[in-house]
Structure 1
Amino acid sequence: MAGGKQSPRQKMINLMYLVFIAMLALNMSKEVLQAFGLIEENLSTSNTALAEVNSAALADLNQKAATNAAQYEAAAATAQQVSKLSNDYNDYLASIKLKLTSTIEEGSEKDYQTQDKTDVLDNAFFVGDKLKLEGKEFKSNMNQYKNDMIAALGEGYPGVKSDLTSKFDTSDVSDREGLKREYLEYNYKGYPLIASKTKLTLLQNEVRNIQSDVMSQLLQGKLIQIASMNNYKAIVNLDKSAFFSGEAVTGSVVLGRYDDTTVPSKVVINGQEVNKADIKNGQIPLKLGSGSVGEKEITGYMEFIENDKIIKIPIESQYAVIPKPNSATISADKMNVVYRGVENPMTVAFAGIPDNKVNVSGAGLSKASTGYMMKPGAGKTVTITATGTLPNGDKVSDFKEFRIKNLPRPTGMVSKAYENIAKTRANLAISTVSAEFLDFDFDLTPRVTSFLFKVPGQPSVPVSGTKLSASATNVLRKARKGDLVQFAQIKAVLPGVNVQSVSDVTVEITD
């Protein structure tokens, strides 16, 4: 029962509660005991299947690491550590189950109606109301498994870490009367043997499912994708690099990746083999003489060795050599408009004229380490003018007008999600409210300062910061399953930028 000092009345209630539990145990329905046994059987079967799947996934990752260490070695190392931690803890839980069921007569393992005794686990973990060394060890091992797994996962895996934190939590539990009760006493003491065995099997199932979740993410390349998405780039592959006025521009857009783990065994361009030492970050250097004016072709191939076979990928492209132009190229690096309040990267150049021979001007424009930065002020448009000096000393000039737009409205987030969000009250109570500019080309992160928390049928609670306050958490407890709670009037700031009001977020309560 609950620890601490208790009144005589509370001690009497506790005693009556123990008597009531004992009476229930004595009169436990045989059907209920049988149901527990069937559930435990199904969980055990599921655990065996999951263990086989996890073992196969680990073997697959180890094989990939052996053939492509640069890409899969780190993932395989994580998988090995997660597997060892999961297997060791699963074996420990199995040893506890074996000890608890050692008193069952041989041949009666599936006679669940006889497994109604409550004193087997109680004697194993408790001395009266106090935990024995074995009980303390049980909690210590659970916490150790949780902490070691979180450390092994490193960066990423927010969902897995959330499951580890919630499903392997050994802190005291509040019962229906609001009294704090010790974890093992609340979850195991006084239960029939088959019920405790089923709970331990369920813990093993949680271990196997978490292990499977990590393996799945590693095998699907999500970890690698998280680490390397910044190396992807959309590449416009035009049929030609120059087109005549009035001619249709044709080609395709492909997704390319800078990847120094995928290096061809041989590269030939226009009859010349490329030195492999010159290939950096997956990029093959290209240096050709331009030649006379007209269309030129680039041909060649790349060779890769796959499963002891040579795969040849052709290289085919064209480019045009044209006379020096007399007009400037002025473009925004990321968009066809510029945004007020932020620095917009700009490229301003005259084709065929060195940068040191080009003068550029415009309201809010400044020189950067590479290119220019435009930070527009008031108004709806801004004009950039470029003047270039040709080798013969002649001047050529051009200009371009850009529209000025305000930043879009940030999107409100709860735990990095903004739509179709469903959470338990416990998870929502520790969730973080944030704001992001979705599908926006600039890396801007507004900081949430306050919001209004609304639960149906309850007064709205103003909150400062990014997490629910104590008052908001108290109101959250009054939400019912299926209620839609709202984070409204979210306020966010961004230094030097006028941030519009953030959109509201709605979360469905699932418990």
Structure 2
Amino acid sequence: MAGGKLSARQKMINLMYLVFIAMMAMNMSKEVLSAFGLMEAKFADSNVATTDRNEALLADLETKGEEKPEEFALPAQNAKLVSTISDKFYKYIETLKVDLLKDGEYSLDSKTGKLPFESMDKTDILDEKWFTGDRLTKAGDAVMAEVAKYKKEIKDVLGTDVKYKKANETFDKLFDTSDVTNNEGDNKGWLDYHFQGFPAIASYTKLTAIQNDVKVTEANMFNLFLGNTLTEAVSLKKYQAIVLADKSAFFAGEKFQGKVVLGKYANVTPTKLSVQGNEIDLSEAIDSLGAAKLDFNVGNVGEHQIDGKFTFLEDGKPLEIDIVGNYVVVPRPNSATISADKMNVVYRGVANPMTISFAGVPDNKVNASGSGLSKGSGVGKYIMNAGSGKEVTINVTATLDDGSKASDQKTFRIKDIPAPTGTMAGQSGLVKLPKRNVEIGTVGAKLDDFVFDLPISVTSFKIKVPGQPTVSVVGTKMNGQAKASIKRARKGDNITIFDIKAKITGNAKYRLKNVSPVIVEVTN
């Protein structure tokens, strides 16, 4: 429009167009300013009405505190604190509004009693007072400090009482002064985002809205202290079905027993948590849902109880909630069960050690019986002393958690201890020794490749030297007659030691089979 040579008529048309646009902008601004003014008036009226209601609620609390001190003395005291804190902050915001009008030279209309909304379009009043460059002035910092002080004082009244948790969350949202991201994606401070660059009437209205938030907070607190905020707590929409099993493990074929209840997670941090007699570090144990994670060593195989306590702060007093539960420990599958079906053998004459258990059942609920079976030392340990016969059956009965019985049995073959092998000077079979070694040597007996390391004692034996009569000897050493016979042996003669009698040390009653003889070839 401004380029080139224009006629006088065209210039006039262009000028009228610019004036028309300016008039439209002016009219729009007045409408917007008037809208802010109407909003401010609504907030102001609401503040007056809420103040009256809050005074009635506070008076009700004070009366209840006198009539029922054990129930309402503390809530009434807290309500007075909230009233004092709120009134002080409300009046501080009022001083900001008064200063805004004074600095902008605005005053109430003498006829209507209203502010001149349409003329309150200045944006530099608070901009120059609260902001400088990209930071706040001392006056701006003071405003943020007062807001922070108010928030801290209110939250100090609520404390960590579990009943006030929801109120704490609502209050935090209402007075959230964290940075805000605008439509352009820029991160701006709370005071900057809400007040910088706005007309005076908009800032004035926002300050009245903050006063309204103070009054709403006051009303919420008073109702909370009176116990008038039960709707959310009892709404079934907040609950879920929770399965509570009577125990945490069941055997195959066993009936599931437990119950289903309606409940919900209480995302409330306790002041103390103890499990199995040990206090738990709350910073590590509580997750985002308020659930406490358990981490402790389980006991031996069988059913065990879990006991502990949650401690919360409610009505200024510790509230303890018992933790009761149970769990079942089953054997860790760290080995395979491998057996040779034809090798289920116990030996007569020795104490056969056995381990007997029932999967998932503690030792004190397992009973094993059988001929010659007795309880040993240790969990699941038994001793089998087999008697006469060729077989012995061991019966095992377990008592399960529900009181029912489970049984099993196994049959073992009974075998005698194999015949020992005779020895001379520790050697067996055909032995080559000098005559002198035979004279001073010791006659013994051993069990070759036997599963038990049994101590065997020789009690007597016989010795036969070629051309000499047989000599009987008691004990393990050659007597005089046997030595004399050995001296007559010649090189190459085979001296036979036979009919060796032996017994198991500590078990003389058991009769070992005949000990095999030893043949000694004389080497000199």
TM-score range, shorter chain: 0.3 to 0.5
Larger gyration radius, structure 1 or structure 2? 2
